[in-house]
Amino acid sequence: MLHALASLVLATITTDPAAVVHLTAAAQPAIVRSVAAVGTADFGLAVSSEGAVAKAASSKATASESGGARESAAPKSEEPSLGDVLAFERRVKEVSARLREATVGLSVGPNQGSGVIVTADGIIASAGHLFERVGQRVMVTLENGRSVRGVTLGYNESEDYGLMRITSEGTWPYLPLHSAAALGRNEPCLAAGHPGGYQRGRSPVLRLGRLIQQRGPFLRTDCAIAMGDSGGPLVDLEGRVIGIHSRIRERINANYHVDAGKVLRDWERLLAGEVWGAETGSFPPGPILGVQVEDVPEGPRVRIAYADLPAARAGVLAGDILLSIDGQKVSDTDALLRCLSKRKAGEKVKVALLREGVEQELEVELVRASGGNR
């Protein structure tokens, strides 16, 4: 727990195995802010060679020296030293190497995405929306481009996570799962995956960011992720998988990840091949339509319309794009949730949607979710 420690000892990548660098935990969020402020492209989109952040920090330090008394009066905790930045960079580089090895590309029927190996015997955690059924064949592409076979295990549809297993023989590089429940705001993190889908000759792409918010089973970060990253890992600077990429937004730096603690909680059920998540208790408390959506430029697009829940009963189908509720425009998932929060269970609403280019309107009677499985 980075922010629960007074200091953190980080091993550096050096020829001297006895050398260590001490980095105060409090400096780490400030370093992330400093990197963002100077706009280092190498870190914003992909973690690159050592030195990018150090150069930025050196430039920032030079600017501070020329700022006179006004600059020197700033709290030291807000201005990490060059040594702090170098230590932070070394830690990121060390974690990045292990993260790339454990991140995989996935082909599950028509679905393409990412995943992360979380045990030495080849168990993969990924996003539930990549699954179609238990026992489905999976093509797993490793960092070096080698493809191995796998199979889907269990998954939770509404909270969007599941497990797969590599069936080819071998021992696999992996990162452990760890609950994000106790992590604080601005916790540094790394996101990995295959934006745009797996590309031959390209290693998994890594992006640095911060934990912004925890909301129900989801984490929100400012890591820049895109379509194709779904199912990939979010890790802390201890190299632990704290989240699985789930809801990818139109704004690439405002995305949601499932807390890895949920996968740990349901580990045995997932290994046993259980599928669940369509019951109302799996939704946040309050009135619901009973759909899972993803944001596209036109609005929230329905990924799943759960059978026996209001939207499906009214005729909403996967692929429909929701336009408005009772005439109130819903431009994205957040707008949809805000709109529903003002309604009551049992209330009938007019849902305008776009299906294959044609606008339609359906009447949906909302039900209340208990939130009991959250």
pLDDT at 104: 97
State residue 16 phi and psi, 5-degree precision: -95, 105
pLDDT at 19: 27
Q: What is the mean pLDDT of each run of 10 residues along the chain (374 residues)?
A: 31 29 44 41 38 39 38 50 85 94 94 96 94 94 96 90 96 96 87 91 92 82 87 95 84 77 95 78 72 87 83 91 95 88 90 94 85 36
Name the superfamily (CATH) of residues 280-369.
PDZ domain (2.30.42.10)
What is residue 4's predicted lDDT score, i.e. its pLDDT? 30
User: In this structure, are residues 315 and 285 in contact, taking their beta carbons and an 8 Å threshold?
Assistant: no
Distances from the Cα of 307 to the Cαs of 69, 249, 276, 317, in angstroms? 66, 25, 12, 10
Query: Which pLDDT does position 282 carry in this prediction?
Result: 53
Domain boundaries, the chain: 2-100, 280-369
- The 10s digit of each residue's pLDDT in 199-254 is 988 999 999 999 988 877 788 888 888 888 999 999 999 999 999 998 776 665 56
* Whole-number pLDDT of residue 28: 53
pLDDT of residue 225: 85
Instruction: Report pLDDT for 354.
Output: 95
What gap in Å lies between CA 95 and CA 103, rounded to an integer? Answer: 12
What pLDDT was estimated at residue 118?
Answer: 98
Tens digits of per-residue pLDDT, 66-88? 333 333 344 445 677 888 888 88
| Structure tokens belonging to residue 11 | 């091993």
Within 10 angstroms of residue 216's Cβ, the number of other Cβ atoms is: 15
Supply the pLDDT for residue 74. Answer: 40
Shortest CA distance to 21 belongs to which of 32, 29, 12? 12
In angstroms, the CA 297 to CA 68 distance is: 48
Collapsed DSSP state (helix, strand, coil) of residue 124: strand
Give the global pTM.
0.63
Angstrom distance (rounded) from CA 358 to CA 23? 57
Report how far residue 27's alpha carbon sits from residue 24's, in angstroms, rounded to the nearest whole number.
5
Mapped onto helix, strand or coil, the DSSP state of residue 139 is strand
Long-range contacts of 357-366 (CB under 8 A, 24+ apart): 359/323, 362/314, 362/315, 362/316, 363/314, 364/289, 364/310, 364/311, 364/313, 364/314, 364/316, 365/310, 365/314, 366/287, 366/288, 366/289, 366/310, 366/340
pLDDT tens per residue across span 295-322: 888 999 998 888 778 998 899 998 999 9
